[in-house]
Copies of this chain bind each other. A is one copy, B any other.
Amino acid sequence: MQSLFFAHVTKDVLEDICVHKIERQHSKGETIIQQGDPIKEFIYLKSGLVKLIRTTSENKDQIISFSKPFDFVSVFSVFSSEYYNYSVIAIDDSITCILDLEEVKRHALNNGHFAMDLMYRMSTATDHIIIDNMEIRKKQLKGRIAHILLYFARNIYKANNFELPVSRREIAEYIGMTVENVIRTLSEFRKDGLIKIYGKEILILNEKFLEEVSEHG
């Protein structure tokens, strides 16, 4: 396993933790964690891409965040709740690594470095979720669309052309607007020469200006 994963934990400790590691395959669309399930495992993403979602009382889905490889999938609640209050769904074919939660806890109890690394990782993850949500909240439609395009280009694919891993609906569920307006805005960006669109293929033509839109509407 990666020394990337836990910076200050020695190899043998890590191996000890991962003795009972299980890998699980998930195909696109599959539910990895179901909101309401008891939290018994500690899960991280090895490959693929997943979304964390919440189903509201009106049965609408809200996307909380996306996770890429080596992010924890059990990001939050794991150490503070008995049940998941969110679902995790694969948006690409994915592989997760699963550790027994009690075992992870036991190790954290006995190994301060492991505990601290864990804390660091969890804290980083939740920080990003919070800050990102605040960022999205302050923007309006165009800014939000620009934001998510730049997010995929920079954080996920590190390229200016990429295949959108999410549907228009999912974008809408992430930024908190309607599908129609997501589409309208994408079309507008296309007409304005900011991006090219071929179905799910996106090519960012004018990153500077997209950045501008993301910042100041």
Within 8 A of B (CB), among A85-119: 85, 105, 108-113, 115-116, 118-119
Give chain A's interface residue range (CB within 8 Å of chain B): 35 or more
Assembled-state Cα–Cα distance A7/B58 (Å): 37
Partner of A116, one of B109, B113, B122, B216: B109
Chain B residues, Cβ within 8 Å of A2: none
- Identify whether the interface residues of A are mostly helix, strand, loop, or mixed: helix
**Copies per complex?**
2
B79 to A134, Cβ gap below 8 A? no
B interface footprint on A110-144 (CB within 8 Å = 1, 0 otherwise) = 11110110111011101101110110011000000
A115 with B119, Cβ < 8 A, contacts A57-B215, A215-B57 known: yes
B64 to A130, Cβ gap below 8 A? yes
Question: A77: CB under 8 A from chain B?
Answer: yes
7 contacts between A and B (CB under 8 A): A79-B119, A80-B127, A105-B116, A109-B112, A112-B112, A115-B119, A133-B137
